[in-house]
Amino acid sequence: MTTQRSTFAKLQRERAKKAKAAAKREKRFDRGEDTDGIEIEGGEETVEAPRNEYRAEDTIQQLEDLHKRFEAGTISYERFEETKLELFSRLTID
């Protein structure tokens, strides 16, 4: 029995995901941000925020602001989720 190939739609999603990651990486580079927190696993980029550079109070305030903007409808759900995950990754659990 043969294995089923990936669908064309899946291949398109994977290519779009890689293109988005490359654009994001280039944008960060252009802004002059430090890229030490970026790790590549299995060909995909994973962003690890340096946890010792962020204060918990500031991160919580940013989360509150993010929720307010989402409830007001000024940002999309996808952007909300992406930013929320990034902010959560900054918090440390003691």
**pLDDT value at residue 32:** 67
- Weakest mean pLDDT among 5-9, 47-51, 86-90: 47-51
Three-state secondary structure string covering the chain = CCCCCCCHHHHHHHHHHHHHHHHHHHHHHHHCCCCCCEEEECCEEEECCCHHHCCHHHHHHHHHHHHHHHHHCCCCHHHHHHHHHHHHHHCCCC
> Contact at 8 Å (CB) between 47 and 57?
no
Q: Quick one: pLDDT band at residue 40, thresholds 50, 70, 90?
A: very low
C-alpha 30: how far from chain center: 17
Other beta carbons less than 10 A from residue 54's beta carbon:
16
**pLDDT value at residue 9:** 81
Q: Taking the complete model, does pTM exceed 0.85, yes or no?
A: no
